[in-house]
Structure 1
């Protein structure tokens, strides 16, 4: 994984708008501003560069729905062969490294070539699957698991079995169009039910490459019940990754939330015994698990997945935060499944499911 190089003067209007949206997301700016630039990029892409240039010449660009003063300024400067001022400001403000990476952290960031936890606009993400994939390719990634939410999480527009089946066909079509340069894997972030069951049918789970399982409800469940709930999930051979295990929020627009109470030693021992990777969720508002639990999982022999939990393209680089923590806490790269090739990952998952 690497950061995108700053764009120079010669840039297409669509590329300038996409990059601006990416940088706004990376800087965690308001979603409406991001949506304005992504919407304008879609308008430009549909019109084509010749029509866009003609409208700039005629002064009719701003008559188009979805083109405002800021987006029009970016388009006009790009058509003129200039680096748009607005984009240049975003590159200056939000284009630098996310973490101060020493040699070890930098090496781990470079080694992380995949992601087991990403979302699209099929559930509560902000961008189409294709845009998430394109950005991952631009960041030098080799594979990514699409893990939109499961049905019970209605607030996040969770996927029914029917919608998931339709999404899997889209994944196949995207992979067919990529010519082997990148692999989009079929997945889900499945909700862990109160009794430790999984919120999707066995038939559909059996069609997926990677399953990340997370608790999203009743986070204040008593410690014993929560422990049994989580162990029930990680002992299911369909589960590959235990997502954001404490459920805590430490900062951000949703406020803060304390971590769930569970017997971490028992849960991580079950993860180690069943080959389930413990996610190091890289989102700054989660920073989950806390350091002491990562150290416990490390000492118990667990594998890890450094994931972005990205809900938008500009969040895919957040794995740098997880890499910094993992290196600082002594997690070797080969214990991180997101450093593995897609082939190795799939072989590991298939072997686990066969028992």
Structure 2
């Protein structure tokens, strides 16, 4: 087995199971370390039992490399594959199998941890028909948001990937900040060139109810917006701690989402679970469409869609109102209505 592929697959399974980031990075660093070597040099080190002399290769990753070089599936990887046969979520099986794609993911162009190509490869492995690349907009400097110039370069890479693949479509997208005045944090000209625009609030989440409502309505009414991302901004668990829901007039916000054809995101990240159940029910009653998204920042997190499917199915969200269950042709037709 190719040792780099073995190390990358281990990273995938660890990310999927929400293992600590340092553990995931240990295997990615080992993959980077041996990627720099000529095959014969790696063979020499393995045969001499000195592969751990490489910077970034520890005892466990060295064992994986050695076993892979012996043309075997490493024991550690075999164990992770076996554990990976179990679903992440106990429920939601019907919707999980109906999901065709994901409209919210990040790469190392902003605050994700992996190259675009690695995200696409993982999406293909999971059987996705489409994946939207939605790195952050420039206002979110802490997340290395993309300027017009950087986004322009990224679009060229997306076009190149799509030209080389037939079994998956990488959609051009952005997670754009809804600024304090309700405008979107990217030029209208650039937004018009994208397939998918996920609009989200990332700052001043404790603003008063009226201020936050008007801000969100501005983003929803922008003709480029397709999806309202993680609408309450809450955090319910995880390394960043917890954060309460933003206060806004949810009935008004969801009514306008339905009127403007903006899907409400069911964010599948375990630490977000956003919107909460009562707001999903309110959006359902308002006639909204939904988008079950992973908000993945690493390849293994793309499988977090299972959590969103579990919640949506438990709350009775119909499959036909979830845009990420739609075939690509139907999805792109809906997206094009906003262009």
TM-score range for the pair, normalised by the shorter chain length: over 0.9
Cα shift readout 1:169-221 (whole Å, capped 9, x = no counterpart):
1111111121x211101000000001110001111111111000000001011
Residue aligning to 1:75: 65
Residue aligning to 2:134: 147
Structure 1 residue 238 and structure 2 residue 228: aligned? no
Deviation at 1:16, TM superposition (A): 1.4
- TM-score when scaled to structure 2? 0.96
Residue aligning to 1:175: 162
CA RMSD of aligned residues (A): 1.5
What is the distance in 2 between the residues matched to 1:106 and 1:92?
Answer: 19
Match of 1:323 among 309, 321, 330: 309
Contact 2:138 2:186 in 1 (8 A): yes
Matched ranges for 1:1-355 at <5 A: 11-47=1-37, 51-93=41-83, 96-101=86-91, 105-178=92-165, 180-353=166-339
Deviation at 1:94, TM superposition (A): 5.3
Runs of 4+ in structure 1 displaced over 6 angstroms? none
Contact 1:62 1:72 in 2 (8 A): yes
> Which SS does the other structure have where 1:352 is aligned?
coil
Cα shift readout 1:302-347 (whole Å, capped 9, x = no counterpart):
0000000000011100010000011111111111111112222121
Gaps of 5+ in 2: none
What is the distance in 1 between the residues matched to 2:186 and 2:25?
Answer: 31
> Which SS does the other structure have where 1:126 is aligned?
coil
What is the distance in 2 between the residues matched to 1:262 and 1:277?
Answer: 17
Contact 2:225 2:338 in 1 (8 A): no
> Which SS does the other structure have where 1:285 is aligned?
coil
Contact 1:171 1:186 in 2 (8 A): yes
- TM-score when scaled to structure 1? 0.92
> Which SS does the other structure have where 1:185 is aligned?
strand
Q: Which moved more, 1:90-99 or 1:168-177?
A: 90-99
What is the distance in 1 between the residues matched to 2:276 and 2:223?
Answer: 26
Contact 2:267 2:274 in 1 (8 A): yes
Deviation at 1:48, TM superposition (A): 6.0
Deviation at 1:289, TM superposition (A): 0.2
Deviation at 1:122, TM superposition (A): 0.6
Deviation at 1:81, TM superposition (A): 2.9
Cα shift readout 1:271-298 (whole Å, capped 9, x = no counterpart):
0001100000000100000001001111
What is the distance in 2 between the residues matched to 1:202 and 1:164?
Answer: 13
What is the distance in 1 between the residues matched to 2:230 and 2:237?
Answer: 15
What is the distance in 2 between the residues matched to 1:42 and 1:208?
Answer: 32
Cα shift readout 1:1-27 (whole Å, capped 9, x = no counterpart):
xxxxxxxxxx32122111111111112
What is the distance in 1 between the residues matched to 2:71 and 2:94?
Answer: 36
What is the distance in 2 between the residues matched to 1:169 and 1:46?
Answer: 26
Q: Which moved more, 1:337-346 or 1:80-89?
A: 80-89
Residue aligning to 1:7: none
Evaluate the alpha carbon distance shift between residue 49 and residue 112 of structure 1 in structure 2; reply closer, same or farther with a 3 A threshold: farther
